[in-house]
A and B are shown apart, each in its own frame.
Chain A
Amino acid sequence: MAVTANPDSPLLEIEDLRMQYRTEQGPVNAVDGVNLEIRRNEALVVLGESGCGKSSLAKVLLRTLPRNAGRPSGQVRLDGRDVLALSEDRFRREVRWVRIALVMQAAMNALNPVVRVGEQVAEPLRIHRGWSRRAAMARAAEAFEEVGIAADFLQRYPHELSGGMRQRAVLAMALVTDPDLVILDEPTSALDVLTQASIMNVLKGIKRDRGTSFVLITHDVATSSELADRVALMYAGQVVEEAPAEAFFTAPAHPYSQMLMASVPRLRQEAAPVPIPGRPPSLQDPPAGCRFAARCPRRFERCADDPAVFHPDERHRVRCWLHDAGGTG
């Protein structure tokens, strides 16, 4: 439906995106100047620990913010058009599930308990494309097969499905309108390892066959490495490092990335995992300068200033003074 202009132009560009939650203790800067780019047929993993603002980022992109969220500032351009500026009604009709779909965190509860699963999966087709019930259900059945559930289950209620099946049903729901971008917010965090792996395989297959782009939001370094083309690491509301997956996992540039990698246990590695001491700063009143400085073993005088973004190589961006003109990486 939308004019796919230049296949090389980015699908989604996020520029200086900021969003605050109003709380009784004052505003919380959950998303604090994020710049990101998602290309066509690319899987971007947004990595970060709890409370770093990665889920808020997903909520800003689909405008499913809770009541206490302030109006986001900055730009989110979808095919070059700023969708943040769209009216609520146009956003609902032109973006939600037509261009961008979502697989929720806690997908266990993402299905309406009193409506048959099939109805819920077929719903976007009926609303956005005006399809008949019959046609929409037939398409939903295809989507079910695609994610590995028998079409029979369309007639079931959510409580009659296992956790893994529900997660797959939610995934099928996101794919049913063939959106350009699917945002996956911790899609596998409540599932066992085997189910996680098989869902990751389904995602890989869809990316290959349909050219869909993914934003995978997770705290799980191991699963994220399965799908990732590129990785963006968030810390305290900001993106601190962004790199191609290969570079990120083998040679992380930011001290936080390096420590995060060292804190994850690995199968074929002798070294014991090293935890990162301390806690992330409060997003209410973030410290001046580098936000990771307090926990960083390599901090020096310059860390008192807000770090600029440096490019150790062409596609690698890092927000750390160590990388300023020949700093040691």
Chain B
Amino acid sequence: MTESATGMRRGLGRDLRRLTVFTGKRLLALLVTVLIGVYLTIVIANMGGQVDDLRLAQIETTAAEAVRADPAFHDLPSEERNELIEEQVALEVDRLRLDEPFIWRSFDYLYQAMILDLGRAEEMHSDAGSREVYQIIVERLPATLLLFGTANLLVFFVAVFAALGLSRRYGSAMDQSVIGLAPSSAAPGWFYGIFLILLLAFIWPLFPTGGMVAVPPPEDGWAYAASVLRHMALPVLAMFISQIFISIYSWRTFFLIHSSEDYVEMARAKGLPDRLIEQRYILRPTLSPIVTSFLLMLIGLWSGAIILEQVFNWPGLGTLLFEAIGHRDTPVIIGSVVIFAYLLAITVFVLDFLYAILDPRVRIEGGRS
């Protein structure tokens, strides 16, 4: 007995060590990935340094315009005026360090982006009045996370449990109808959103047409939360409708395939109760692919965020990006890309970490290499 207890402790210690090594390696790899991604964005957004020429020309024009427009310099001879212009241009070039090669500055930009020093917006500002790109984005992020997180969790849990149930009643009328409804996912969430707004906000005004909270926002915390919930209902429902049937369908097929594994048959032969077989022998070994597809779905939904948030007038990252593109506000666009890269990396990291916890085979590979 004591022997097996020490064995167990040893087994756990070994697992923990492997998990740590694995996690460290993945973190490093992801950091490099983000670095490369952000650096590529910087190089592309600056067209490999060619934007500098444009910028220089712009600085010269601006400086010349400013000097010419200023009545105080009207009387100066043109040579002195030109000198003044050149002085101003030199100052600006010095400030932006345009005289240095682009390649040096690009690393500075990279560093700034990585520490989330995203600079100042050209046109836009946050609702609180800040012009810091970071502030602008951070203000919008929670709204997006709340909306898409809720919708995804809902789809995920409903789909997994419905799929487990269907895989048991394979071929039933219920099963057939879910398969029949699966093509409904061909249309994106915002498409259903338009109809939902028409039906449930205009014809039967049960829900607000858009926005995140009533205007003016309720003072009381609970009332505020209730108002947000009411505003969330339609967009969440729209995403739910567009995702749910295909998710149930694909996971039900997945479970069907996995319930014919030898170890499931063995568990049945062992006389284990159905619920235990489902949890331990079907759900547990398939959890890592399920989590993968869940997180990939989450990432996929980000790309739909722009339109969905527009349709529901939701003050999230999607709306922000839409506005930034409209204003040609480059720092905000680049900042959004950087934040997006980080979000993606975090998602992948969470995925890797879950993998290692869920599947012992992943752990050993991480520990061995």
Binding site for B on A (CB under 8 A): 62, 64, 66-67, 92-93, 95-98, 101-102, 104, 106-107, 109-116, 118, 123-124, 127-128, 134, 137-138, 141, 151-152, 154-157, 159-160, 170, 173
| B360 beta carbon closer than 8 Å to chain A | yes
CB pair B269–A97 under 8 Å, yes or no, is yes
Given contacts A114-B284, A114-B359, contact A127 B170 (CB under 8 A): no
Give the distance in Å from the alpha carbon of A102 to the alpha carbon of B3 in the complex: 29
Question: Which residues of chain A come closer than 8 Å to B364, judged between CB atoms?
Answer: 157, 159-160
The stretch from B4-12, B68-76, B157-165, B179-187 touching chain A is: B4-12
B180 to chain A, nearest CB (A): 21
A97 and B280 alpha carbons, distance in the complex (Å): 18
CB under 8 Å from chain A, chain B span 257-288: 260-263, 265-273, 276, 280-281, 284-285, 287
CB of B95 within 8 Å of the partner chain: no
- Could you say which residues of chain A place their CB within 8 Å of the CB of B261? 109
Report if A93-B271 is in contact (Cβ < 8 Å); known contacts: A127-B276, A154-B7, A157-B360: yes
Q: Are B11 and A155 in contact (CB under 8 A)?
A: yes
**A123 CA to B269 CA, complexed, in Å:** 12
Q: Please pick, from A96, A113, A116, A157, the residue contacting B271 in the complex, using a CB distance under 8 A.
A: A96
Contact of A137 among B4, B170, B360 (CB under 8 A): B4
Supposing A114-B360, A115-B280, A159-B360 touch, asked if A151 and B269 sit within 8 A by C-beta, the answer is no
- Structural contact, A112 and B284, CB atoms closer than 8 A: yes
B268's contact among A64, A67, A155, A157, by CB below 8 Å, is which? A64
Indicate whether A96 sits within 8 Å of B270 (C-beta atoms), given known contacts A104-B265, A110-B263: yes
In angstroms, Cα B284 to Cα A107, docked, is 20
Give the docked Cα–Cα distance between A127 and B170 (Å). Answer: 27
Chain B: which residue is nearest A138 at the CB level?
A: B1
B-side interface residues, number (CB < 8 Å): 32
Chain A residue at smallest Cβ distance from B358 = A114
Which of A66, A106, A151 is the one whose CB lies under 8 Å from B262? A106
Contacts A109-B263, A110-B263 given; does A127 touch B285 at CB 8 Å: no
What's the Cα separation between A124 and B272 when bound, in Å?
7
Residues from chain B with Cβ under 8 Å of A104 in the complex: 262, 265-266, 269
The chain A residue with its CB closest to the CB of B259 is A67
Enumerate 29 A-B pairs (CB-CB under 8 Å) in ascending A order: A64-B265, A67-B170, A92-B271, A92-B273, A96-B270, A96-B271, A97-B270, A101-B269, A104-B266, A104-B269, A107-B262, A109-B261, A109-B262, A112-B284, A113-B263, A113-B361, A114-B285, A114-B361, A115-B280, A123-B272, A124-B270, A124-B271, A124-B272, A127-B272, A137-B4, A141-B4, A151-B4, A152-B7, A155-B4
- By Cβ-Cβ distance, the 10 closest A-B pairs, closest first, are A96-B271, A155-B11, A109-B262, A157-B360, A112-B263, A110-B266, A102-B269, A92-B271, A97-B271, A62-B269
A123 neighbours in B (Cβ, 8 Å): 270, 272
List 20 additional contacts besides A98-B271, A127-B271, A151-B4; criterion CB under 8 Å. Answer: A64-B265, A66-B260, A96-B270, A97-B270, A104-B266, A106-B262, A109-B261, A109-B262, A112-B267, A112-B285, A113-B285, A115-B284, A123-B270, A124-B270, A128-B271, A138-B4, A141-B3, A154-B4, A157-B360, A160-B364
In the bound complex, what is the Cα–Cα distance between A24 and B1 (angstroms)?
A: 54
Residues of A close to B263: CB separation below 8 A: 109-113
Q: Closest B-chain residue to A67, C-beta based?
A: B170
B352-369 vs A, Cβ < 8 Å mask (1 yes, 0 no): 000000111100100000
For residue A183, which residue of chain B has the nearest CB? Answer: B269
A237 to B271, CA, bound (A): 27
State which of A64, A114, A138, A152 has its C-beta within 8 Å of the C-beta of B269.
A64
Cα-based distance from A118 to B276 in the complex (angstroms): 17
Name B361's contact: one of A151, A155, A159 (CB within 8 Å): A159
Q: How far is the CA of A237 from the CA of B359 in the complex (A)?
A: 41
- Chain B residues 291-333 with CB under 8 Å of chain A are none
CA distance A218 to B359 in the complex (A): 34
* Closest beta carbon of chain B to A234's beta carbon, Å: 21
Chain A residue at smallest Cβ distance from B265: A64
A157 surroundings in chain B (CB, below 8 A): 360-361, 364
| B287 cross-chain contacts in A, Cβ below 8 A | 114
Question: Which chain A residues border B267 with CB–CB below 8 Å?
Answer: 112
The distance from the CB of A20 to the nearest CB of chain B, in whole angstroms, is 18
A160, closest chain B residue (CB)? B364
Chain B, 1-54, CB within 8 A of any chain A CB: 1, 3-4, 7-8, 10-11
With CB as the reference atom, state the residue of chain A lying closest to B12.
A155
- Give the CA-CA distance A101 to B361 in the complex, in Å: 28
B52 to chain A, nearest CB (A): 54
Contacts of B11 in A (CB 8 A): 116, 155-156
Q: Which residues of A contact B272 (CB under 8 A)?
A: 123-124, 127
Q: Report B-chain residues with C-beta under 8 Å of the C-beta of A113.
A: 263, 285, 359-361
Complex interface: chain B residues within 8 A of A152 (CB): 7
* Distance A186 CA – B272 CA, assembled complex (angstroms): 23
Is B271 touching A134 in the complex (CB atoms < 8 A)?
A: no
**Shortest Cβ gap from B350 to chain A (Å):** 19
Distance (whole angstroms) from the CB of B280 to the closest CB of chain A: 7
A112-B270 in contact (CB<8A)? no
Q: Which residue of B lies closest to A98 (CB)?
A: B271
Of chain B, the residue at the smallest CB distance from A156 is B11
Contact with A along B108-126 (1 / 0, CB 8 A): 0000000000000000000
Q: Measured between alpha carbons, how far is A127 from B272 in the docked complex, in Å?
A: 7
B269 neighbours in A (Cβ, 8 Å): 62, 64, 96-97, 101-102, 104
In the bound complex, residues from chain A placing their C-beta under 8 Å from that of B360 are: 113-114, 157, 159
Tell me which of B260, B262, B276, B361 contacts A110 (CB under 8 A): B262
